[in-house]
Structure formats: structure tokens, C-alpha cells
Amino acid sequence: MTKKFKASIERYNPDTDDAPYFEDFEVEYEPGMTVLDALLYVQDKYDSSLAFRWECRGGQCGSCAVRVNTIARIACRTKVDPDADLILQPMQKMPVIKDLVVDMTQTEARIRRIRPYVARDKPPERPEIIHSQDIEILREIRKCIECSACLSNCPIVHETWDYPGPMIIRQLARLELDPRDVEDRVAMAMDEAVYSCTTCKLCEDICPKSIKIPKLAVELLRAKAVEAGYPLLEGQRIFVDSMKETGRSVPEKKTPLLKNLETEEFLVENPVGRVAFFTGCLIDYRMQSTGKALIEVLNRNNVDVIVPKEQWCCASPAFRTGDMETATMCTERVTKIFEDAMDKYDLDTVIIACAGCGKTLQEDHRPLIEEMRGTPPRFKVYDMAEYLVDVVGMDRIVKPTGKLDLKVTYHEPCHLGRGQSVVDQPIELLKLIPGVEYIDDPYKNRCCGAGGGLRAGQRELSMKIAKTKKEYIEATGADVVTTECPFCTIQIKDILKGTDIPCLYMPDLLLESYKKGDEKKAEGKTAKAKAEA
Amino acid sequence: MDELPYKTILCDVLVVGAGGAGCRAAIEASRLNLDVIMLSKELIGKAHTSMAEGGYNVSLGNVDPDDDPETHFKDTIVGGNYLNNQELAEILVNDASQRAFDLEEMGALFDRTPEGKIAQRVFGKQSWRRTAYASDRTGSEIMITLVEGIRKESVRVFDEIFATRLLVHDGRIAGVTAIDLKYGDYLVFRAQAVVMATGGAGRIFTVTSNAQLDVGDGYAMAFEAGCDIIDMEMIQFHPTGMVAPESAKGRLVTEAVRGEGGILLNNKGERFMNNYYPEVMELAGRDQVARSIMTEVLAGRGSPDGGVYLSISHLPKRIVEFRLESMIEQFEDAGVDIRDEPMQVSPTAHHFMGGLKIDTNAQTTIPGLFSAGECTGGIHGGNRLGGNALAGTQVFGALAGGNAARFAKEHERTGVDRKEIQKEFNRLEAMLKRKEGISPSVARKELTDLMWSKVQIFRKEEDMAYAVKELKRIEKEVVPNIKVDMPIKRFNPGWHQAIEFEHMVTTARMVAEAAFMRKGSRGAHYRVDGDPNDDGYYNIVIRKGPKGKMKLQKEDLVITKIAPP
């Protein structure tokens, strides 16, 4: 029997309908079926007036972007999951013409605003000599087919067209990198609010051409801006200056974790593994208890933890804002500290509980060190949830037994999900906790607005994005939201002020359950002892 | 007849079509200080040109210094089985280099040689490595560039406008009727000169590499307007289209795969091209490779899904990753890693060699009507060489655009026949109002299946006769009874398909009639029952006769340098 699934498609003809509505269609599944195939099936079988765009069916033309289960993607290269419902909606930010067809007028106008072509001040030589090595990155970011899906998904564009969005900022970088273009694209990028991007990477994640827009366009333009002498925004500069001087991006308040710990070594009997713990600035200076919780959680899972006393900032704020000098300095320092720890303690794994630091070590430090010395850092980097679930393994994890009666949802930090491909592991950990009812938020992977220097530099815009995030969280009906990034935690706590939804950090929640379990056990023992007595 | 409301929009030069040729024509015309409108049936930049993969032929001699336009010309004529209009082929080979430099001036980036010149690779039936490329996304690179170019020029782009009829007045082109796909409004565009750049018609076949809008609008509109159409029987079936999954059937697998060293194997693992064209193997002409593959499949030596195997896995992965990046992506979607596994391929309807007949100014037989790109006939003769189409879009796009602009400067705008306009809009309106009738998707399936089963790679007399008879019946019985399911004008794909259907039928009939007339095998037209007395050295020209009848006649070849053997 052929497998069938339900496609819910948003319909809207503004001539006759007051508002959009969903219409459900039953679609026969075929192996390899794409969203475009499903749309064509519906159009052919049920309603030939169903409006959507498509041309090439091969990911070359960029006509068919629609929102598939809330995220815009090109339909012809998105596979259908026959075991789930398929929800199809028009792209956001662009007004609907009919059904899934949106008006691109504003997008086209926005593109034209940046003079999106190679500007020349004299006729070129014919032919022109251009060397491959000069166009390597340019060649990568030039592949854009203007499907506009990234504009629909961009949390900044969602709040304001002041920022032109990933697709268009990419075109600016493409022109900046073109040796033939004579315009001052860096000045233009400043005018086009290049510092508004949170580097959430949703654009890169859904890009049909896998263009690394945050790194190869946004951060590249920012680095060029810094090089050209544009000062960082006030809030961003404080972070960067601080990390240069103290190795920490924020000032000290109460006693830092590293000063507080009496030893570097937290060893267990019969360890299943040994890791070095990279704390990052915020766990060290602001979330000391979370740091301790993580050490304890790892120890309870029979993992030796080494916490090098001397640590340094990963320089995420410098990478994100374009201060490559500071970024390079910190990268070398972090690499040395942990390679020394490797040698001293005979280990090869570094564990991180901060999404931003983890992403920076993996995506930024590795290639930079490799470029500088030919080989990448010698240690492996894991996120804590990834380490527990994938390395310790679900069969060896010591399950927490204390019951926490909570409806819990999860905010996936951008730099964890898309930065390190750690998506399911934190949720698996949550589900281990007895009593926890996990509520999936379809928008869990949307940016909170803190990253990329936005919270530091442009608080107002950052909070607008956070407000949208708050609406998603509230819609889940959960008692608490959990996450795995100190920066997201601070931002979400801020925006949830005045609500009764707390934002909890994963290791804290785990430890709470472990401790509750201990109490229960102890009570049990006492009761047993009493009974025996 | 109802008096239907419409709006008239004026310009000097109207370009119908916004692919490689249309954009290039519009850019050229706008540089001559004229008001130019470019109509795009899709959003700007989404045209089929972006799907061209392999490359752009230009005899720069950057890799093989002995190459020159003369050799390019010879390869083009021999490859075209001597049916090419040699005056046009000369223009193609002579202008290809300047037009490539134009592209780079606008921002294109072809891949480079170590010296920083444009790199070139080998393609089928070429004496030298001549094909300039940007990995295997050359068409996309050119389309991206032309969109950048359009955004720099003062071209007025009207996107999602579907031109339905050419308007001719006092023997000259006057403009077009059109509908706005977005909102369904009726529009008339009037101009002193019009450039047709509407692309091909692969979609009249069930299995095709073409984008969904390539249904032959230009051929049908030009025929209806009385324009001469040439070589319509010459259809290139690209030897390598995807076979599976079903929804990807027909999608192009670039010739660059074979150019880079890919080999064709049957289900016994034999490199079967050795049995057909041992001298050139996989790089024989596209018609030759397509027939060889079909012969293997029909003899039972095909792959499970009805194709043959194309393998590139013997090449270093790094080369495949750099030069065939789209292919990796395309087959990844189908669950095949081409770095390790063979692809399954079989022929797919790809390119129309025939089309609007033009002179050396790119002007058609209707004064003021110019043509460029795939809708144009004569340049490629009986078989187009891979890489000559992208070059053709640029060479003839610029030529048509420039000459249309000059024509527009020298002429006043003509009037229009408002009765004819009302008649056309009433025809379109009737499809929506009809109470009973045939659904466009049903009609379309019947047509494409007929063409795919009867008028494809191996042709024979009775099939041609049958196809012509059937097409006449469809024209008479189905076309006037097409009924749109939902009578909505606002972005209604059902209506768009209904309007396209007549264009498809007219185009299909031109193909079938010409294929019926040509009794011998020549170029892409292969008759299994070929008449040995028909050497085939002529062109077939179609024009509208009295009472709208389709008139076909043989014409002498246009020869400047190379006589057929």
C-alpha cells in the first residue's frame, strides 16, 4: 500500500479572503519525494489554481522557496518526511500575492540599493588577467541563486529592513572581494548595518548553495571595516579591550570559579574518560555554580575533569566583530593552554558548556591555527551534552533519579545547533530527568538576539529579536525554558522578566535531579534503618 | 465579443524573454539611449539559462594556442551536419570572444588558467579545448552576471508577464498582448522593435531537461504572426539526463562529466561507445551518443531504471569536487555519491536547433522583429555542439538588441489593431468562462506523451504520420475546449497552463510536420526507415499560409565556406 501523508498548505487570495487559512491535502508518498513534488501533486490532483513558484526543479534557479514546517527553504531540494505532517507557508517579510507566491518588489528594491554590480572607473583590459587565488572566496559566495529564503528566515530582517539580510550583505562581500570593483564597499557595509547580524547561521543552514554567509560575508566585511579603521561599537569595544588585558571579556564581580576551585584535578575511581574543562568567561565570572555543577555531573558519570587554572577568553566577541588581531592572539593562547594540559594530564578532549565558546574553538580556532602552523589544535572539542550522549553513551550515563515535576522546553543556542551540529543531545539529556515533560518548540532554533555583538552593541534591536523569541517560548506553555549557552541564558532571562518562566542551564537542572535522587535514596536508607531498628 | 479592459504600456524596444539572450539584448538596447522593457515570464534571474551547466565555446586558444575562429567554425558546421546557416555560424565564432569579455566586464568569473586567463576544457566534437566554464554552473554564472548587468542598466523589467500574441500592423511588428501572471490583468506592450528571446520547448516532451516555462511560446507566437520558422525537426536529445528518482527524470547531467573523462558503461560493464564511435568514444556528437545509449537500452543492456551507467569515479575526488560541484549536489539528492558510484543516465529532450529564421542582423522575416537565443533557428544546423548555446545567447542577444535599437531609432511606432487585441483577450477569457471542457493538465499529458513516444530519437514514417494526424485533431478538438478548473485570474497556474497549451500544440505540430517531411536521416533527425536517396542537405522552412494553414517548404542551405560532402 502506498504511504500517505498530510500536507497543510496556507491558502490566501486577498481578492476574496479576509485572512489566510490552512487547507489539508492527502499526498501519496514516493521515495525521494521533495516538497516541490508534493506541491505539484496537490496542484495536479486537487487544485490547479494552487499558486507557488517553480522553474528548474534542480536547485539552480531559486524560484521555489517556501516555508517548510516554519523554515524557508527551496522546495525542490527539500525532502518530504512521510511520517510527519508537512506544513507549507509563504515566505515571511514579503507580502502574499496568492497562496505561496509572495511579492518580491521590496526585495528587488533592497538589492538595488547597494548598487549590486561591479562598478568600474575605467574600461577594463580585454581580456582581463585574474588569478585563481584572488577569487577563491569570491567564487564560493558568488554561487547565490537569490532564492531569498534566508531573508525570510533572518531574525534581523524580521525586525527591520535597515539591515539588508544575508543574501544582500553577501552580494556586498562578493563585490568587496572582487578586485575589479572600485566602490568603497566597506563604507557601504557600515551604512547597510553590517553590525546588526547576530551570526545565528540560519541563513547558512538553509542555503541551497551552502554559502557560509556569516563567516565569508558578515565577519569578513566587519574585519575589513576594523582594518580600515572603523571603531567597534562602544559596547563591543569594552568586551574586546577587556579580553586583551585580562583574558576575560567581562569584569570580575564575585570570586571567579577558577579562583574558587582548590584544585585543577577532579578525579574519580575507574574513570570512563578524562576531559579538560574550558569554562569560558561567563561560567568563570558569572555562573560559577553552573561550572561546579558541570564538574559534578561529569564526575557522577565517572569522567575525570581537569580544570586548568589559567584560562583565556576564546575571543568569540573579537571574531564576531572583526577584530582579528585580538582574535588571533587569544586563539594562540587558548590553544597553548589546552595543549599543555593535554600533555600534563594525558588527555585529548576539551569539554565546553558554552555554545559560543564551543563554536569558536571548533569553527574559528581550528582553521586559524591550521593556517598559521599547518596543523590544527591537537585536542578534540566537545559540547557537554554531546560528550555525555555520544562519548559516554546513553548506556553508560548515570541516570538522574530525582523527580522534577516540570514542563520543560528547550532553546537551541544558534552556536550549538548550527555552530556545532549538536541538536538532539541536550533534549535527550532533558528527557532522562524523571518527571520532566519535554515540550518541543517548533521555533526552538531561532536566535535570541544576543550573539554576534548585537546585545553588546545595539541593545534595542537585540531586545526586539528577544521579544519575538519570548513569544515563541510562551506559546509552548512550558514552565521553564532550558538552554546551554550563558549568553542566551542572560538574554532570555532578561526578556522573561515579569513572567514566571525561569531560564535554566542544563547542568544545573541535571544536578538538581541527581541531588534530589540522593536525598530520596538517603531517606530510603534512613527509613530502612529505622524499620530495621 | 466582450469589450475587455486592458492597459497599454509603451516603450521603444521590447524584449520578450529574460534569459541569457533576452537580458543581453535588453542591456545592449538600453545602452543606445532607448526606453527598453524586458518581459520575463518568471522572476528575473530564474530563466532556464541558469540551468546550463557545461560551458561557453570561444576559440581563445588559452589552453590550446592553435585554436582559432576558423576551426571553431569548421567544428560547428561539421557538428551541425552542414545544415547551419554559415553566415550566422560565422557571426557566432567571430563574436564569441568579445561577448565573453563583455560578461567578465559585467562581473562574470570563468575559471582560470595558471596564468590568470579564462580556462577552457574539452567538449564533444571539438578540435581543441575550447569551452570556457565556471565549474559546472556556467549558465548560472552567466545568469547571475546578466542580472547584475540588468540592475546596472536602465532596463525596465516587468517580471511574471506572459506574452501571448505578437501584434503586427502594416507589415511591421507593433507589440505584444500579455497577461500579468501575478494579478491576471490584460496588458498590451507597444514598441517600435521587438526582440524574441523566449527560449526552447523541451516541455512538449514528457522527459526533458528544460525548465517548466520552456513550452515554445516564441515559436508559436512567431508562426501565428506570419514569421518564417526553420529547422523545427532538429531537436537535440541530450544523451545524459537523470533516470531516477521519477521526479528528477530528464534533469541534465552535464556533458562536462564526459569532458572531464567520464565513461559510459552498459549493464555488462562494457564501455560500449567503443562499438559505435571508437575514435571519439564518449565525446562523439550528442545525437550520436544519444542513439548509442538508446540502442544499448533497447537491446536489453541497460541499467535497472532504463538507462546506462556514466562513471567518473576513476578521477581524483578533488577534481570532481572542483569542476563538477553541481553534479555532486544533484546526485546527492538522489542518494548517489558520484565520486564513488556511477550515475544512471538516458537521453532527455534538451535543445531546439530550429526556430525563428533570422538574417545577419538577427532580424526575422517580420520587419522590426528580432530574435536571439534558443528560439532562433539556423545557427546550429542539425546538431548543436555543447557550449555553443551559451555563446549563442550572448552573440545573438547583443546583435539583436543593438539592431532592434537601431531599428527603433529609425522608425515611428506603428498603430495596433484593437479588434485583434480584443479577440486575443476574449480567447484567454473564454478558457476561464467555459462551463464544460478539457482540463489543461490532462491535455498536456496527452500531448507530451504523444511527442515522447512518436517524435523522439528514432523516427519512422508511420509514427510521423500518426503524430501529425493526432496533433491536427488536438488542435481542432482539444485546443478550443480547454477549460480552467478554477475561474480565478489572480496567480492561477491552471490558467497559465491553459494558455501555454495552444503554444505547445502549435510548436509540436511544426516539429512533427517537418520531421514528417524530411525522409532521410540528417543530424539530430534520425529516421530508422531513412530514404537513402534523401541526402538531406536542405532546410525546411515553415510559414503560415492562407487560412492559417501550416506551409512547409525546402530551402537551399546558406553556404559561405564549407560545402557539404
Q: Which domain holds residue A21?
A: 4-102
| Cβ pair A55:B211 closer than 8 A | yes
Q: A46, A48, A138, A177: best mutation site toward chain B, by most B Cβ within 10 Å?
A: A48
Task: State the cell numbers at A6.
Answer: 498530510
A384, A381, A383: which is closest to A294 by C-alpha?
A: A384
Interchain CB contact of B153 with A (< 8 Å)? no
Cα–Cα dist A359/A372, whole Å: 19
Alpha helix (H) ranges present in A98-165?
105-112, 136-141, 149-153, 155-159
Does B445 contact A at CB distance below 8 Å?
A: no
Rg (CA), chain A: 25
B251 is catalytic: no
Least CB-CB distance to B51: which of A60, A126, A132?
A: A60
Q: Least CA distance to A98: which residue of chain B? A: B491
Domain chopping of chain B, boundaries: 241-346, 431-536
List the strands of the sheet with A21-28, edge to edge. Answer: A21-28, A4-11, A86-89, A65-68, A71-74
Q: Is the residue at A236 inside a domain?
A: no
Residue A58 is given by DSSP the state: S
Is residue B253 within 8 angstroms of chain A, CB to CB? no
Task: Flag whether A334 is in a domain.
Answer: yes
B238 is a catalytic site residue: yes
User: Could you count the other beta carbons within 10 Å of the beta carbon of residue B5?
Assistant: 8
CATH architecture of the domain B241-346 equals Alpha-Beta Complex (3.90)
Determine the pLDDT at residue A58.
87
Could you please report the per-residue DSSP string of B418-445?
HHHHHHHHHHHHHHHH-SS-B-HHHHHH
Q: Model ipTM?
A: 0.95
Min Cα–Cα distance to chain B from A157, Å: 21
pLDDT tens by residue, chain A, 533 residues? 689 999 999 999 999 999 999 999 999 999 889 999 999 999 999 999 999 999 998 899 999 999 999 999 999 999 999 999 999 999 999 999 999 999 999 999 999 999 999 999 999 999 999 999 999 999 999 999 999 999 999 999 999 999 999 999 999 999 999 999 999 999 999 999 999 999 999 999 999 999 999 999 999 999 999 999 999 999 999 999 999 999 999 999 999 999 999 999 999 999 999 999 999 999 999 999 999 999 999 999 999 999 999 999 999 999 999 999 999 999 999 999 999 999 999 999 999 999 999 999 999 999 999 999 999 999 999 999 999 999 999 999 999 999 999 999 999 999 999 999 999 999 999 999 999 999 999 999 999 999 999 999 999 999 999 999 999 999 999 999 999 999 999 999 999 999 999 999 999 999 999 999 999 888 888 888 887 76
The CATH number of the domain holding residue A287 is: 3.40.50.1860
**Given this model, what pLDDT does residue A1 score?**
66
Residue of B247, B99, B237, B162 lying closest to B425 (CA atoms): B162
Cα–Cα dist B30/B113, whole Å: 34
Q: Please tell me the distance from the alpha carbon of residue A92 to that of residue A66, in angstroms, as a whole number.
A: 9
Q: Say if CB A470 and CB A496 are below 8 A apart.
A: yes
Q: Are B467 and B235 in contact (CB under 8 A)?
A: no
- Give CA–CA dist A1/B165, Å, rounded: 47
**Domain shared by A270 and A375, yes or no:** yes
- C-alpha distances (whole Å) from B280 to each of A35, A43, A333, B79, B239 are 41, 45, 59, 13, 15
Do the Cβ atoms of A527 and A499 come closer than 8 Å? Answer: no
Residues A379 and A412 in one domain: no
Nearest CA to B314 out of B347, B277, B280, B282 is that of: B282
The grid coordinates of residue B487 equal 475561474
Angle (CA) B394-B323-B258 rounded to 5° is 85
A46 assigned to some structural domain? yes
Cis amide prior to B245 (ω within 30 degrees):
yes
Cβ contacts of A99 on chain B, cutoff 8 Å: 491
Q: What is the pTM of this model?
A: 0.95
CA angle, A65 as apex, A64 and A67 as ends, to 5°? 135
Question: Taking each helix axis from N to C terminus, what angle separates B440-454 and B493-517, rounded to the nearest 10 degrees?
Answer: 20
In a domain, A399, yes or no: no
Question: Which member of B45, B137, B251 has the closest CB to residue A57?
Answer: B251
Task: Judge whether A232 lies within some domain.
Answer: no
Structural domain contains residue A338: yes
* A114 and A193, same domain (yes or no): yes
Same domain, A85 and A221: no
Of A393, A422, A455, the one marking the end of a domain is A393
Residue ranges in chain B modelled with pLDDT below 70: none
User: Is residue A120 packed enough to be buried (19+ CB in 10 Å), middle (13-18) or exposed (0-12)?
Assistant: middle
Choose the closest CB to B118 out of A77, A101, A127: A127
B99 touches chain A (CB under 8 A): no
Chain B residue at shortest CA distance from A120:
B105
All residues at 6 or more sequence positions from A345 whose CB lies less than 8 Å from its CB, including other chains: A265, A274, A276, A306
Q: How far apart are the first and last CA of chain A?
A: 66
Share of residues in chain B with pLDDT > 70 (%): 100
Closest residue to A33, CB basis, from B60, B247, B485? B247
Across the interface, whether the CB atoms of B105 and A33 are under 8 A apart is answered: no
Q: Enumerate the residues of chain A whose CB falls inside 8 A of the CB of residue B494.
A: 48-49
**Torsion angle, alpha carbons of A387, A392, A398, A401, to 10:** 40
Same-domain pairing of A208 and A95: no
Structural domains counted in chain A: 4
Specify whether A323 is located in the same domain as A276. yes
- Pairing label, strands B355-357, B229-230: antiparallel
Fold observed for domain B431-536: Methane Monooxygenase Hydroxylase; Chain G, domain 1 (1.20.58)
Whether A237 is in a domain gets the answer no
Look at B493 and A112 and tell me if their CB atoms are within 8 Å. no
Residue B188: predicted pLDDT: 98
From B279's Cα to the closest Cα of chain A, the distance in A is: 34
> Which residues from chain A sit within 8 angstroms of residue B108, using beta carbons?
none
Q: Tell me which of B24, B203, B258, B509 is the catalytic residue.
A: B258
User: Could you tell me which chain A residue has the CA closest to the CA of B147?
Assistant: A117
Mutate to test the interface with A, among B31, B41, B46 (most CBs of A within 10 A): B46
Q: Do B333 and A61 touch (CB under 8 A)?
A: no
**Which CATH number fits the domain that encloses residue A138?**
1.10.1060.10
